[in-house]
Amino acid sequence: MAVMWPRKLPPDVLRNPLRSTECEVYRKLESSLSDAFTVFYSRPWLGLTATGEEIDGECDFVVAHAELGLLALEVKGGAVSYDPAEERWTSRDRWNLRHTIRNPVQQARSSKHRILEKLKQSSQWSVRRIRARHGIVLPHSARPPGDLGADMPLRIFCFEEEFRTDFGKWVRSRFGDPADAEGNEGPLGHDGLKALEKLLAQPFQLKTPLGRILVEDDNELTLLTQQQFHILSCIEAIPRAAVSGAAGTGKTVLAVEEARRCAEAGRRTLFTCFNRALALSVLRNLNGIEGLTVASFHDWCEAMAAETGVKIPRNVPQQRLLDEIYPEALMQALDRLPSRRFDAVVVDEGQDFLPLWWSAVDASLSGPGSSLRIFFDSNQRVYKTVGKLPEDVQLVPIRLTQNMRNTQRIHDIVTPQYEGFAITAIGPEGVAVDVLAPEGPQAIRRQLEKIIARLITVEKVQAEDIAVLVEAEKDVSALSLRDKCGGQPVANCEDARPGSIVVDTIARFKGLESLVVVVICTPQMLSNRELPYVAFSRARTHLVLMGPQAVLDRLRA
């Protein structure tokens, strides 16, 4: 049996009725020729005209033999006819329908010459004159009595009789006897066979950059998240409502959309949260909307105190300042300037708010007809949120139960850090989470440099789509991540900008997200359940974990 390329016909070719004749010839060539023959099926080629214009074509079959040479075959099914007056070739099928076809003689001849040209350009080929022939296989057409034209002698055609009785004999006859070689024609040789294989059947595998895959996954996640906007309509009639869900269920997206809708409806609206970096990110997205104020809770407290002249003492512990003094200052400021109250207040990451803060939020509302929306995390393993919410806030029965931020691979590694009502990841499966265990800060730094450089230069990920998260500020210095990483400038999450990688602590990055997140895992993360939960869930499409093996094993358990 002949050596066939491809070894087997693909299913799409076998199912295609337009290729049934080619499949028939393929099987006949395979069975009627010995393994000294190599047959290439459906070989496309690209050539140039004398003026440099590109022309492309395809040879149905190329038959090669080390001693005999090469033979280009064109196959046409049905009953073939030629009208020289119109230079028109047609084929009539079994249902007696006539189809116009391309000139098979010209196709075979062109393919032969183009393949020879390509062969001469091959580095594996020693240029010499070899025997090259062309032929036309018409397995359903009866043999006519004589030649079909000056350039169409009967010997170059295989008709139904030869195809049915001894196709292999006809193929060998088209090559002719090597002893009768014209001029200085030589054999194709085994080097010629190898050159043909490289030319016509060379395997290759082109890599899709990871960045492209991640963007496609991210686009799918974005569309899924926006499908949740109907929930806002469901709570429209509820003056004070809270919506719960785990990391990745779209709380922030819904909170931002709710703030935008309220402001565009003509209501004075405040969007607030605990994390200043999150507030700045939302402000960049909603900037310019009339009637909308976006600020972190403490920035809003400080701004109102400054506007109304409320004094904030500075000689008190930082924790007391944030927990008690700032919210009290806000309430005093609003008593002095009640016109600064809002018709709608939207609170994101509500699990971070303390009871006194809710009193300040309540004081920020304008009164009857105002609305309060709280979006909070339902992870009971980390947050005891429900007990902190204002008593008059209704928990909406519609919970966010679908993870629409993270791929399924990332969701699987976040799940052990979560405890609460069931969450299902409905996004794409995504790429595997990378887990690396370099030992010590220097090894981590070297590995991190390699990862960032590969992501940007090889995988085509944009620098601004990468975030490196550490447990504490001291780790930024320990890993020498103040200026550059992987050859790219770095910035903290509040100063994020195009062309820079974000390097910051997990706490400061809370509420934010990135296409790619690299988490430097430390033993301290084992005793603080919030850190791995927040850090792992920040990655939308690709997560990389780095740290001591023992720590990684426990965090993933």
Q: Identity (one letter) of the amino acid at 292? A: L
Full set of structural domains in the chain with CATH? 3-201 (no CATH), 236-397 (3.40.50.300), 434-556 (3.40.50.300)
Beta bridge partners of 403: 425
pTM: 0.62
d(CA 204, CA 85): 46
Q: Which pLDDT score, from 0 to 100, does residue 382 have?
A: 81
The pLDDT value recorded for residue 385 is 62
Give the mean pLDDT per block of 10 residues along the chain (557 residues). Answer: 86 84 92 92 55 58 91 91 84 83 88 85 80 92 86 90 92 76 74 84 61 76 69 86 90 93 96 95 91 96 96 91 95 96 96 93 92 90 73 71 90 91 88 91 90 91 94 84 85 90 93 94 90 94 94 87
DSSP string, 299-368: HHHHHHHHHHT----SSS-HHHIIIIIHHHHHHHHHHH-GGG-BSEEEESSGGG--HHHHHHHHHTB-ST
Write down the pLDDT at residue 48.
42
Q: For the segment 516-527, what is each residue's pLDDT rounded down to a tens digit?
A: 999 999 998 998
Q: What is the largest CA-CA distance in the chain?
A: 113
pLDDT at 411: 94
d(Cα 65, Cα 161) in Å, to the nearest integer? 24
Q: What is the pLDDT of residue 52?
A: 45
Q: Which two tokens stand for residue 231?
A: 């929930």
pLDDT value, residue 210: 74
If phi over 0 gives left and psi between -120 and 50 gives alpha, with beta otherwise, what is residue 25?
Answer: alpha
